[in-house]
């Protein structure tokens, strides 16, 4: 992908390592302000300041959960009503076939079931998981991203990416270390 | 996210996590329990005892399948014996886990971070034990799928006006959503285990379970949203489950069951027994695994306060059950409560009052709340008390109803005990395996409590 692929190994990107969460947020903000689009920050804890610094405002999980919940809601009520009014209508103590208040527990449980499953599944799928392989793991020190260290990776697919200029840009952010990420 | 609320020292007892921990040290400590710690003799001993009890379940269930539910002590009028007592008891225990993981998350209570994984595990295992009882109680567990709505040649469908069908939906939804919530919480921790594992096979197993999680900010953003949504959905769910369980009783016409106080009183009782079970399990675990710096006295103190508060609600429930028996001016209601207090099962009732109303009052004393041993004793008593409560509700209401000619007595047989003790064995076996193979404390949420997770942007960029 990279126009500057001079080296033998195809390059996925350049990764800078930081000691603290604050440095990572500052670096991510600087990277975005420098015009990079394809980059990502990696941290052992969720950092809410990064949402702002990287302009992350993906609300689709909420939307899908709402849709899933509504499907469950209508499905639960519809199932109970269809069964009791159409499929097997029985007179239970003279109650109407669609005894709405008595179908609320089923409706509620189905709402939560489908809504909850949608929330979890849509989060996993939109994150591109499961992903058995990812280039960032080629950096040995990246194992600490799930433990104690903070990383920023600018990807070679970014139009502004240049192997040498990007290195000097990252050096300006005062990282602990910079590593090339093999694809 | 969770900025700890500043409270005066008089209320807060000690820190949420001991000072001196860093991002790396908590990760290594919790991951090390799973990855590095050798299997000790004590663990093997405990596991074998639990596994031995589990064999009682196998024996009890096998004999039940061979002979039918007649091997139990149930009869007419007491058709709901131990099976329903234990079902309600187990499902109530589960409720603390969801309360800790969902409701306390929404309320931003950061102290929950150290105990939620364990409590959720307890929820799942308790609901597994609970779900078994109604299925066994049908006597024909191989036909349990009849409870579900599915198209069949006889064109028969469940009766959706029945609380028993609501129960099927409530409990199965509860188990599913609890398991999903638990797994979602585990994904980042699986990644930590994968990255810390020294042996390849361990890294492979945890790596498979981690789904390739790489701690990306773009992922965390969606992850936190999903976790919050799951918490928001679980919060009404946990309240609904025991409400529906209480409907099983309250919708019936039987004196002692037919009361409107049941839903809130059942939910409070569930949380009460659940917190007691969390204390029962967590106090030994924090000692054996040296986690006193992470599950601090403050956690125990907070859990003791929740136990006390919900215990008071339960006590209020007992008071009003008795009061309404008198105030209803209904001869059957009056007799029911009188029979409960002075009839053949009176000793159970008064033990229950001792365990659930008198014992938690000791938790007013701060010295007791901050003493692990005393708290553990209280939690055991509460667990017994809550089991007695379900026994009293189920048995004393059924055994003497409207017509004296249809009165009877219920006593459990050895097969009742075998299945009950067997589920305790199943529960403890699962807990023993859980502490060895999964991180028993949510590592990434523990990291969030540390100063290293806070953002202080450097001035010079």
ipTM confidence = 0.91
Give the pLDDT confidence of B220-264 residue by residue, as tens digits: 999 999 999 999 999 999 999 999 999 999 999 899 899 889 999
Contact yes or no for B215 and A47 at CB 8 A: no
Q: Residue B458: what pLDDT?
A: 54
**What pLDDT is stored for residue B54 in this prediction?**
96
- Tell whether the model's pLDDT for residue B460 goes beyond 80: no
Contacts of residue B42, defined as CB under 8 A and 6 or more positions apart, other chains included, come to B288
Closest-CA distance, B191 to chain A, in angstroms, reads 6
Asked whether A47 and A24 are in contact (CB, 8 A), the reply is yes
* pTM greater than the 0.90 cutoff: yes
Q: What is the CA radius of gyration of chain A?
A: 25
Q: What is the dihedral of CA A65, A69, A72, A77, to 10 degrees?
A: -170
**Listed ranges A1-15, B273-287, B439-453; the one with the highest mean pLDDT:** B273-287
Cβ–Cβ of A105/B166 closer than 8 Å? Answer: yes
Contact check, Cβ <8 Å, B452/A20: yes
Give whole-number Cα distances, A84 to A99, B156, B165, in Å: 9, 11, 13
Is the pLDDT score of B1 beyond 70? no
The whole-angstrom separation of Cα B334 and Cα B322 is 8
A-facing residues of B in 80-139 (CB < 8 A) are: none
Q: What is the pLDDT of residues B264-277, one digit of tens each?
A: 999 999 999 999 99
Shortest Cα distance, chain B CAs vs residue A1, angstroms: 22
CA distance B356 to B362: 11
Nearest CA in chain B to A53: B217
Q: What is the pLDDT at residue B10?
A: 59
Q: How does residue B281 score in pLDDT terms, banded at 50, 70 and 90?
A: very high
pLDDT for B99 equals 86
- Interchain contact B155–A (C-beta under 8 A): yes
What phi and psi, each to the nearest 5 degrees, are found at residue B320? -75, -25
Of B278, B180, B176, B174, residue with least CA distance to B227: B180
B31 membership: H or E segment, kind and range: helix B23-35
Q: What percent of chain B has pLDDT over 70?
A: 96
DSSP track, B288-336: HTT-TTTS-HHHHHHHHHHHHHHHHHHHHHHHHHHHHHHHT--HHHHHH
State mean pLDDT over B41-68.
94
Partner-chain contact B166 A61, CB within 8 Å: no
Q: B119: distance to nearest CA of chain A, Å?
A: 19
Taking chain A (183 residues) in consecutive chunks of 10 residues, what is each chunk's mean pLDDT? 49 90 91 90 91 88 96 96 94 91 95 96 93 90 90 89 87 88 85
Q: Which residues pair with A152 in a beta bridge?
A: A16, A41
- Chain B residues touching A131 at Cβ < 8 A: 211-212
Q: Are B415 and B72 in contact (CB under 8 A)?
A: yes
pLDDT at residue A162, as a whole number: 85
**Stretch among B30-44, B119-133, B374-388 having the lowest mean pLDDT:** B30-44
- Taking alpha carbons only, the member of B103, B238, B227, B90 closest to residue B173 is B238
Could you report the per-residue pLDDT of B290-312, keeping only the tens digit for each?
Answer: 888 888 888 999 999 999 999 99
Using alpha carbons, select from B310, B184, B289, B179 the residue that is nearest to residue B239: B310
A86 close to B (CB below 8 A) = no
* Long-range contacts formed by A84-87: CB under 8 A, 24+ apart: A84/B157, A84/B159, A84/B160, A84/B161, A87/B155, A87/B157
B226 to A46: CB separation less than 8 angstroms, yes or no: no
Mean pLDDT for B27-39 is: 88
Distance CA B427, CA B425 (A): 5
Does the beta-carbon distance from B221 to A30 stay under 8 Å? no
Q: Which domains does chain B have, with CATH numbers?
A: 23-453 (1.20.1630.10)
**Cβ <8 Å between B173 and A113:** yes
Q: Is A75 on the interface with B (CB under 8 A)?
A: no
Predicted pLDDT of residue A1: 38
B244 touching A, CB under 8 A? yes
Does residue A65 belong to the interface with chain B, where contact is any CB pair within 8 Å?
yes
Backbone torsions φ then ψ of B18, nearest 5 degrees: -60, 145
CB burial string B337-348: b at 16+ within 10 A, e below = bebbeebebeeb
The span from the CA of B335 to the CA of B136, in Å, is 32
A60-82 vs A100-126: helix crossing angle, rounded to 10: 150
Nearest partner of B390 among B432, B359, B356, judged by Cα:
B356
pLDDT of residue B3: 53
Q: Which residues of A touch B177 (CB under 8 A)?
A: 112-113, 116-117
| DSSP-assigned beta bridge partners for residue B215 | none
Give the per-residue pLDDT at B105.
85
Substitution target in A82, A100, A127, A174 with the highest count of B β-carbons within 10 Å is: A127
Confidence band of B71 (pLDDT split at 50, 70, 90): very high
User: Phi and psi dihedrals of B218, rounded to 5?
Assistant: -65, -35
Q: Is pLDDT larger for residue A1 or for residue B176?
A: B176
Tens of pLDDT, residues B336-380: 999 999 999 999 999 999 999 999 999 999 999 999 999 999 999
Q: Give, in degrees to the nearest 5, the angle at Cα B201 between B198 and B207.
A: 85
For position B7, what pLDDT does the model report? Answer: 57
């Amino acid at each position: 992908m990279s126009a500057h692929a001079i080296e033998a190994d195809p390059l996925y990107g350049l990764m800078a390592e930081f000691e603290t969460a604050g440095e990572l947020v500052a670096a991510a903000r600087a990277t975005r302000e420098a015009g990079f689009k394809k980059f990502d920050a990696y941290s052992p804890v969720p950092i809410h300041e990064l949402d702002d610094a990287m302009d992350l405002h993906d609300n689709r999980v909420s939307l899908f959960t709402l849709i899933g919940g509504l499907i469950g809601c209508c499905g639960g009520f519809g199932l109970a009503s269809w069964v009791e009014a159409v499929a097997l209508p029985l007179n239970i103590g003279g109650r109407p076939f669609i005894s709405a208040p008595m179908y609320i527990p089923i409706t509620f449980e189905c709402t939560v079931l489908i809504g909850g499953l949608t929330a979890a599944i849509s989060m996993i799928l939109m994150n591109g998981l499961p992903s058995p392989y990812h280039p960032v793991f080629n950096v040995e020190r990246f194992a600490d991203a799930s433990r104690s260290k903070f990383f920023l990776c600018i990807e070679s697919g970014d139009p502004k990416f240049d192997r040498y200029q990007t290195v000097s840009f990252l050096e300006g952010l005062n990282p602990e270390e910079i590593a090339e990420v093999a694809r | 996210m969770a900025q700890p609320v500043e409270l005066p020292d008089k209320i807060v007892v000690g820190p949420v996590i001991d000072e001196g921990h860093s991002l790396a040290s908590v990760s290594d400590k919790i991951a090390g329990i799973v990855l590095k710690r050798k299997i000790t003799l004590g663990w093997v001993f405990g596991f074998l005892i639990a596994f031995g009890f589990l064999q009682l379940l196998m024996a009890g269930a096998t004999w039940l399948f061979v002979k039918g539910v007649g091997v139990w002590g149930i009869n007419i009028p007491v058709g709901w014996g131990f099976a329903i007592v234990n079902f309600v008891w187990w499902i109530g225990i589960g409720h603390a886990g969801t309360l800790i993981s969902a409701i306390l998350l929404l309320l931003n209570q950061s102290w929950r971070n150290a105990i939620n994984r364990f409590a959720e595990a307890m929820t799942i295992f308790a609901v597994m034990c609970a779900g078994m009882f109604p299925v066994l109680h049908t006597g024909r567990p191989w036909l349990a799928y009849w409870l579900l709505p599915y198209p069949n040649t006889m064109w028969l469908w469940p009766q959706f006006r029945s609380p028993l069908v609501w129960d099927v939906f409530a409990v199965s939804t509860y188990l599913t959503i609890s398991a999903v919530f638990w797994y979602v919480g585990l994904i980042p921790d699986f990644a930590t285990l994968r990255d810390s594992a020294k042996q390849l096979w361990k890294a492979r197993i945890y790596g498979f379970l981690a789904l390739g999680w790489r701690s990306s900010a773009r992922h965390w953003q969606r992850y936190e949203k999903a976790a919050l949504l799951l918490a928001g959905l679980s919060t009404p769910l946990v309240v609904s489950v025991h409400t529906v369980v209480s409907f099983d009783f309250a919708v019936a016409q039987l004196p002692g069951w037919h009361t409107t106080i049941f839903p809130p009183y059942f939910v409070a009782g569930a949380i009460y027994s659940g917190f007691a079970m969390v204390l029962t399990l967590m106090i030994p675990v924090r000692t054996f695994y040296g986690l006193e710096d992470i599950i601090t006295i403050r956690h125990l103190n907070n859990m003791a306060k929740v136990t006390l508060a919900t215990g008071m609600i339960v006590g209020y429930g007992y008071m009003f059950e008795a009061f309404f028996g008198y105030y209803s001016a209904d001869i059957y209601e009056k007799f029911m409560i009188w029979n409960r207090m002075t009839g053949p099962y009176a000793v159970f009732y008064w033990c229950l009052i001792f365990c659930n109303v008198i014992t938690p009052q000791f938790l007013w004393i701060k010295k007791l709340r901050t003493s692990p041993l005393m708290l553990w004793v209280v939690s055991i008593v509460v667990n017994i008390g809550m089991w007695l409560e379900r026994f009293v509700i189920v048995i004393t209401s059924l055994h003497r109803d409207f017509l004296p000619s249809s009165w009877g007595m219920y006593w459990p047989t050895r097969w009742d005990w075998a299945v009950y003790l067997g589920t305790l064995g199943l529960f403890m076996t699962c807990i023993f395996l859980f502490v060895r193979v999964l991180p028993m404390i949510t590592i990434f949420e523990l990291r969030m409590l540390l100063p290293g997770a806070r953002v202080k942007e450097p001035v010079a960029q």
